[in-house]
Chain A
Amino acid sequence: TQLLEQSPQFLSIQEGENLTVYCNSSSVFSSLQWYRQEPGEGPVLLVTVVTGGEVKKLKRLTFQFGDARKDSSLHITAAQPGDTGLYLCAGVEGYSTLTFGKGTMLLVSP
């Protein structure tokens, strides 16, 4: 069973700051997804990465998939209060079902 470790568990920053959150595993993933979950809502997909070394950008968010497909990072530039939420990484190993990490709770204060 794959285990995804996310760090940090909690991050509190001021509006305008940059931040990076990490997702690591000892397993090799065929694909990895990042979701954001706001309080009282279900997770919503941000991005899917499938190729080692892949970098994807979504406005102020930059996602990177490690060369060995065992880790990923999410970088947010100039964070805004609307970025507040729980950021979850989720990986697929081979033909297995999607497994989620515990998430990073981000709080951006005005």
Chain B
Amino acid sequence: EAGVAQSPRYKIIEKRQSVAFWCNPISGHATLYWYQQILGQGPKLLIQFQNNGVVDDSQLPKDRFSAERLKGVDSTLKIQPAKLEDSAVYLCASRPPGTGNTGELFFGEGSRLTVL
């Protein structure tokens, strides 16, 4: 079974530029998450989707971050304009159906962003 796919693995941009990350979850996983992991810290939830609907985006900085999952499968996270403090690894995760909040999250390898 293929895992969660993310791209690109690495991205270096200058501040005020824009960037987009892509995630394809495990087939059949309706729940998809984007996490931000700053060096030395644990993952922080940015947004949770259930199919193509947003469940929780309370910690998403909406003035610069946006995310969509138009067809309920793959998802894109965009940052525009980027700030220095956005330097982090952006992790995508998905959860099998029927497992509720105690279900295992399956993570991708992450997209490492460096903002100069």
Determine if A42 and B101 form an interchain contact, defined as CB atoms under 8 angstroms apart.
no
* Chain A CB within 8 A of B98 CB: no
Complex Cα distance A55/B91, Å?
30
**Which residue of A4, A42, A48, A103 is within 8 Å of B109 (Cβ)?**
A42
Instruction: Specify which chain A residues have a CB less than 8 angstroms from the CB of B43 in the assembled complex.
Output: 43, 88, 100
- B45, A98: Cβ atoms closer than 8 Å: yes
A78-110 toward B: CB 8 Å interface, digit per residue (1/0)? 000000000010101001111111110000000
Q: How many residues of B contact A (CB 8 A)?
A: 22
A-B contact pairs, 28 of them (CB 8 A): A30-B102, A31-B101, A31-B102, A33-B102, A33-B104, A35-B105, A40-B109, A40-B110, A41-B107, A42-B91, A42-B108, A43-B43, A43-B91, A48-B104, A95-B101, A96-B101, A97-B55, A97-B56, A97-B101, A98-B45, A98-B105, A100-B35, A100-B43, A100-B44, A101-B42, A102-B41, A102-B42, A103-B42
